[in-house]
Amino acid sequence: MTLAEFLERVVRPNMMEFQFDGDERAAFNAIAAVDALAAHFFMWCKQRAHPLAAGCRDDTDFRETLARRDANFEIFRDVAKAQKHVDLTRGTPTVKSADQIALGFFASLGEVAFGDSDTRVLIQTNKGHIVEGRLVVGLALDFLVREMRQAGAV
């Protein structure tokens, strides 16, 4: 499967489901799909000796390179890692634990309640900021697609 096919057949359908359903399962699938897209993009760059992957030993290094280029992608990267590894113990991630990703709702400006029946997936950063999951994942995907287009990958 090419990078463009993976984007259209796997990533976009998962993103559409998350955008419309917004539940935790759809969020998990969308996050995993966008994270996998970054790995596919790394392999594409590596196979072509693209400068974006220069100095990257693996897809983890590549994600770090991307995170330095976009603050939202940095949050997304840490959310994806926390989702996979539950607790992050190395470095200084923006999101340290999978427990910082939960269903909740904005009760009023500045107030958040986790675990309620609203379909928003909310992410609490280590600095205490609350961000909406669909926005974080959507902006990360937008950034990744822009980078892929600039590289000539799609």
Q: What is the pLDDT of the chain when averaged over all its residues?
A: 87
Burial class, 144, CB count within 10 angstroms (exposed 0-12 / middle 13-18 / buried 19+)? buried
Specify if 107 maps to a domain: no
DSSP assignment letter at 59: H
Q: What pLDDT is attached to residue 105? A: 58
Residue 124 DSSP SS3: strand
Tell me the pTM.
0.86
pLDDT in tens, 95-148: 888 888 777 655 443 445 444 444 578 888 888 888 888 889 999 999 999 999
- The total number of structural domains in the chain stands at 1
Range of the domain at 144: 3-86+132-151
Specify if 116 maps to a domain: no
